Amino acid sequence: LPIAGLMTPAPLEELLNQLAVTEQAIFSLGCKVAHSIMQLAFLALPVIPELKLTDKGLVDVIRFEIVPLFEKE
């Protein structure tokens, strides 16, 4: 989606067609998850639930802190 990855100026019909093509491509690759695009969207949504993977790394969204992946020696 061209506007902040969240919105599009495209007409609804065009967006629905693009979504259908994308879902079919994902299905043809072997994914059997219904509405897989939405599943991925919620997986990355950094406010649900406590830990989320973002472009900044693993984030504790309750404390607003990046969680280290490795312990310091």
Encode pLDDT of 16-51 as tens digits.
999 999 999 999 999 988 888 887 777 667 667 788
Amino acid at 70: F
What global pTM score does this model have? 0.56
Q: Phi and psi at residue 69, in whole multiples of 5°?
A: -90, -20
User: How high does pLDDT run on average in the chain?
Assistant: 86
36-44 and 12-28 are packed helices; what angle lies between their axes, rounded to 10 degrees? 90
> 53, 44 in Cβ contact below 8 A?
yes
